[in-house]
Amino acid sequence: MSETWNHVACPGCSCLCDDLSVQFDGDRLLSFEPACPRGEQWFRSRCESEPRGPQVAGVDVDYDSALAVAVEILRAADYPLIYGLSQSATPGQRAAIALADALGGVVDTTASLDHSAAIMALQEVGEVTCTLGEIRNRADLVIFWGCDPASSHPRHAERYSIHPRGRWLPGGRADRTVVMIGTAGQVEQCRLDAEGTTPDITIAIPPGQDFETLSMLRRLIRGDQVADVPAPLEQLVPLMKGCKYGVFFYGLGLGGDADREVATTAPIDHVNVAALLQLVAELNRFARFTARRMGRHGEVSGADNVVCWQTGYPFAVDFSCGYPRHNPSEFSADGLLARGDVDAVVLVGAETIPRFSAAARKHLESIPTILLDHPGSQSLFQPTVEFSTAVYGLHAAGTTFRMDNVPIALRAMVPTKLPNDADVLSDLMNALAIEGPV
């Protein structure tokens, strides 16, 4: 018998739209409204995949046997890494941090590959920010920098930034000026939504010139004399100074290279984001101005929030001294693996493994690994122990965080016999405690 669920939150991207209507027949998705290719694909890939039981070295085993092997791996490890968390929810993230703490290892999130530059910039210069609801109701100037919202966040324009009629923007799209800034050759192809809506102004900048462009804008805002100012920037400055409420949405194209396939060392990435955040702070002399990061994964903001409130730091946290320490260049997952510093890994979601450096992937495949991932996930390598886990927002309830750090409740709609990641991680903790001190 089919069942329809309304007001459902979608973890398909960091917009976490909570206005969905979904219909299931058992574990089969019958309908998904309103239309969103990214959200529908997220639900279909997880609810219609054949779940598999625990495995050890690719062989099916019962849960207790897999747990016993995982415990042996962790007890033998001198310096284990717990990594991932961006496809989890608050219960699983808290359990992962507790395990890393108990083992004296490291916990890191996918932010170290995707958004470390933004987080480091925020720590350095601060951030003027807001909720998406405030943007929906007030922002008459919307600027996207280094992102392609139509592909990364298909309903962002529809729900929050471009089309909705707000309390002080009754005309919706007609009351907003929309600007798209990015690398020449790429930004011209970017669109605001799946319908192909284009911005009012497109500004193409040479590759690698984000910092120089932001510095020029800051000087122009201050009224300094600047030579050889490109015409589009001259057009942008009065818009920024004359609007009532402006917002920058920035993506990986600003903080780094959005198209890079593997992790790279790019020490100036955070300087780009810091320059943008400083520009936003200075624009508040003329108008209310804010900035918001466009998170790549559904729960990347939640992972940052939970790790930060549990440890005091947002990612790359080491517990080997008995207390949390933070050093992105030393304790990030890619760096630890590339140097061969860790001797066991617990992966809570493996979606970012292809973006590791070659050295990191090589070491990962040479050490014992414990993988917790959703049903139907693609095997990127052969882990030592693998658990298919229930999916938050589909099989299990939990709390997640939207890109503006607003907590959103996820619901359990499809029955499953799979444990969630919090259950598996807690069982590991309990087994380790029973067998003696770690």
The predicted structure's pLDDT at residue 255: 64
Distance CA 16, CA 351 (A): 19
Among candidate residues 293, 309, 338, the one where a domain is terminated: 293
Whether the pLDDT of residue 102 is over 90: the answer is: yes
**How does pLDDT run across 393-406, given as a tens digit for each residue?**
999 999 999 999 99
Enclosing domain of residue 209: 116-293
- Give the CATH number, domain containing residue 133: 3.40.228.10
Strand partners, 23: 4, 31
Q: How confident is the model at residue 264 (pLDDT cuts 50, 70, 90)?
A: very low
Residue 207 included in any domain = yes
pTM reported for the whole predicted model: 0.91
Among candidate residues 263, 293, 323, the one where a domain is terminated: 293
Residue 82 included in any domain = yes
Q: Same domain, yes or no, for 278 and 333?
A: no
Q: How confident is the model at residue 262 (pLDDT cuts 50, 70, 90)?
A: very low
**How does pLDDT run across 162-196, given as a tens digit for each residue?**
999 999 999 999 999 999 999 988 899 899 998 88
Q: Same domain, yes or no, for 228 and 329?
A: no
| Percent of the chain whose pLDDT exceeds 90 | 80
Phi, psi (deg, nearest 5) at residue 204: -95, 130
The predicted structure's pLDDT at residue 299: 61
Instruction: Dump the DSSP string for 170-202.
Output: TTGGGG-EEEEEEETTTGGG--SSTT----SEE
| Strand extents, DSSP E, 272-324 | 288-293, 317-318
Q: Same domain, yes or no, for 245 and 322?
A: no
Q: Same domain, yes or no, for 68 and 126?
A: no
**How does pLDDT run across 281-305, given as a tens digit for each residue?**
999 999 999 999 987 655 678 898 9
Whether the pLDDT of residue 140 is over 70: the answer is: yes
Mean pLDDT estimate for the chain: 92
The predicted structure's pLDDT at residue 127: 92
Q: Same domain, yes or no, for 126 and 171?
A: yes
Residue 12 included in any domain = no
Whether the pLDDT of residue 111 is over 50: the answer is: yes
Contact (Cβ atoms closer than 8 angstroms) between residue 15 and residue 34: no
